[in-house]
Chain A
Amino acid sequence: MADASLRPAEYVGFRDAAAAILGRHSGAGALDAFGFTDVYADGADDLRPAYAFLEAQGSCCVTTPALGLLALAGFRDERLPADGGPPLFGVPLGRASLVAVPGMGPGDRVVVDRPGTGLVSVEDPVAARRTPPEPVADDYLTVLDLDSAGLRPLVPEAEAEALREGIAVRTQLGAAAELLGLTDRLLEDAAGYARQRQQFGRTLSSYQAMQHLLAWAATERHQLACLFDIAVARSAGEPVDPQLARAVKAMAGRVFHAVAQTAIQVTGAISFTWEYSLNRVHQRGLALDQVAGSSADLVAAIGRQARTERVVPELFTLTDGAAGA
């Protein structure tokens, strides 16, 4: 985006480095090249590089298991078999029995949170996979149906309670990072298309109606980047307020949908074809909005809390350095 200079320089450096890698690699290869395991390893306090990686993953629309790893950052459990890789987190979806695993591959181990039981591992994730209708535009998220899955207790409820908030915050900010990247991709592609596509002898971008559509989309995206950057900056120094993470995730979903609609309108009928790149980006964003609380549910929850507590949350203050970009 043209406003990259407005964002925290160090974060943008991480993101651009990740984007360069994701242009050549996907899956575990991309994670290794970025050193992602060092970022989320136990004892790593600063997760900004991980969020930057996920934003780049969104803008490149590449698949890795980074989001599932980030959710369980620092989680080590001797009860997992020693020969496997680090587990991926199965992120809650709207329905209690379903979870989504980002970038799941054959042999990956999956851990899910079962409130009342604790953290459990899914014995055979591939068998629990819910079969999507073919063809699939984007297979980034694998949906598991836990009703029929074998589950093995890992962390009892009493201990899981202490982990839950951190997992939720990292999942929401990680998903928001990807949604921001997807939003950037849609906006850049739509603006690029408008600059080149000619109608009535003029570029689409010369029409004020098109300029206004795209300017509103950029404005939506700007507010998301500002709020997201504040939350990510906070994550480097202290636990992120769950209300802030919830607001970022809610805004990310809403902004994504608004910008996607603009991109579709600007791009015209080609956007409704299966093979045009917008389709995959759009469907990935649609799916990501559903994980760790959909924007619709989160917005309603934010309103409910403000009404019942009669407090409109500030989410951050100038005095804690949140304004520093």
Chain B
Amino acid sequence: MGARGPVDLLQDGDLADFAARFRDWLTESAADVAPLLDGHSDYDVRVDNARALRRLLCEHGWGLAGWPEEAGGLGGSILHRSVVTEELFRAGWSGPTVFEHLEIIAPTLVRFAAPEFVEAVVPSFLDGSRSWSQGFSEPEAGSDLASLRTRAVRDGDDFVVNGAKIWTTWSKWAHWCLALVRTGSAEERHRGLTMIAIDLSSPGVEVRPIRQANGTDELAQVHFTDVRVPAAQLVGEVGRGWNVALYLLARERGTLSWLRHCAFRQWLTSGTELMGADSDRQLGSVVLQLAGVRAAAARLLSRAADGTELGPEAAFNKLLMTRTEQSLYDLLREVDGMRIALPGDSPEEVLQQQEYLFSRIVTIYGGSQQMQLITVARHILGLHDG
């Protein structure tokens, strides 16, 4: 007997039943699913697998569970999506690569973009045929995002965009870029910003991948020269881009921590085979940190599922998530530094070195650790200058 589809399960409204049915489906579909879960040292292969997995999940409805109907989904909440994520990691998934942005960008589009645009672009994001990048940082605007210079000028039904974005993760593979641009004056700072979706196949767009210290080229610099962008692709109102950015960043700092902690658990579990009794205390410490990330992420998911706007508390999740990732890789380096410093050419060792090096900079992306601490200090503890 085949597993019931997700539509019936969402009607049941029971998350445990939903999870059990998805596990059944994974078991029944192992021949198709398993090859798409494996890690690979060639990042292009991993991206191809991630696309194929999204397609397969959507064909069977699982990739649509938890997404609103207006976005091509089946209804349900972020808890359904998070259950799917965790079950995939339990089944040995190496991770979503470019679709890590799904939980960050798609909810932002649903929340702020015009319904017609959501209907036009989100279903192809869900099914893996299109992927997105986010264009926030610029060569002269990192943590001080409000100083960005990429400009969009209204011209009839379009905006004309000129400027450059940097550190735009996964742009090399992306079809769209959700870009924060300046439509007001520089003096207006964050009040003069607007969020807009740019088709990266538009004339005037140039994507230059950046080869990273870990050998991959997930990051890129994206140049815009007189790029015409229909006003229908605005995400939120003109001049209100800062609010959209805060919403998105709360997702990047908060809900992403659920996905990432699933990966941490998998890495730590496989790392235990290298450890001896002398690692027990350090291992226990990382296990405990992981429990903290998991608990804080679960609380945030619960609030998001209830429709609560995520606020500055998402900074807690980012701080806990990134500290744990660094502690985890500190431990793996200490128990077998050779594997990380001088890996062989097996996919496992290459991946581990890539992930180790990436773990060194996780306290930078999505708002640096220092910015998160300031957010907690000012907006939660009420500590102010002066």
Interface residues in chain B, defined as those with a beta carbon under 8 Å from any beta carbon in chain A: 15-16, 18-19, 79, 82-83, 86, 265, 268-269, 272-273, 275-277, 279-285, 287-288, 290-296, 298-299, 301-303, 305, 313, 316, 319-320, 370, 372-378, 380-386
Contacts and interface: CB of A to CB of B under 8 A. Distances in A.
Given A215-B374, A222-B316, A227 B295 contact: yes
Contacts of B305: 323
A226 B299 contact: yes
A299 B285 contact: yes
Interface in A199-245: 202-203, 205-206, 208, 210-212, 214-216, 218-219, 222-224, 226-227, 229-230
Contacts of A6: 299, 303, 313
Given A214-B381, A219-B320, A299 B374 contact: no
Contacts of B372: 215
B284 A226 contact: no
Contacts of B380: 2-3, 215, 218
A191 B381 CA distance: 7
Contact of A325 (B83, B277, B303, B376): B303
For the complex of A and B, list the 6 residue pairs with the smallest distance between their C-beta atoms, beginning with the closest: A303-B284, A223-B292, A211-B377, A303-B283, A303-B280, A226-B295
Given A251-B292, A302-B284, A312-B290, A226 B298 contact: yes
A78 interface: no
B86 A318 contact: yes
B288 A219 contact: no
Contact of A219 (B276, B298, B316): B316
Contacts of A226: 292, 295-296, 298-299
A215 B82 contact: no
B320 A306 contact: no
24 contacts: A191-B383, A206-B383, A211-B374, A212-B373, A215-B373, A218-B316, A218-B376, A219-B316, A219-B319, A219-B320, A222-B316, A223-B316, A227-B291, A302-B288, A303-B279, A303-B280, A303-B284, A307-B272, A310-B269, A310-B272, A313-B287, A318-B19, A318-B82, A323-B79
A250 interface: yes
A53 B280 CA distance: 34
A145 to B, nearest CB: 29
A74 B293 CA distance: 34
A313 B287 CA distance: 8
A298 B381 CA distance: 31
A195 interface: yes
Given A227-B292, A310-B273, 8 more contacts: A215-B372, A218-B380, A229-B295, A296-B281, A303-B283, A303-B284, A312-B268, A313-B291
A324 interface: yes
Contacts of A152: none
B383 A194 contact: yes
Interface of A: 2-3, 6, 191, 194-195, 202-203, 205-206, 208, 210-212, 214-216, 218-219, 222-224, 226-227, 229-230, 247, 250-251, 254, 296, 298-304, 306-307, 310-325
A235 to B, nearest CB: 15
A159 to B, nearest CB: 32
A299 B294 contact: no
A212 B276 CA distance: 35
Chain B CB within 10 Å — which of A206, A210, A218, A298 has the most? A218
A227 B291 CA distance: 7
Nearest to B268: A312
A206 B386 contact: yes
A320 B83 CA distance: 11
A151 B16 CA distance: 48
Given A303-B280, A325-B303, A319 B16 contact: yes
A311 B269 CA distance: 6
Contacts of A215: 319, 372-377, 380-381
B283 A307 contact: yes
Contacts of A301: 284
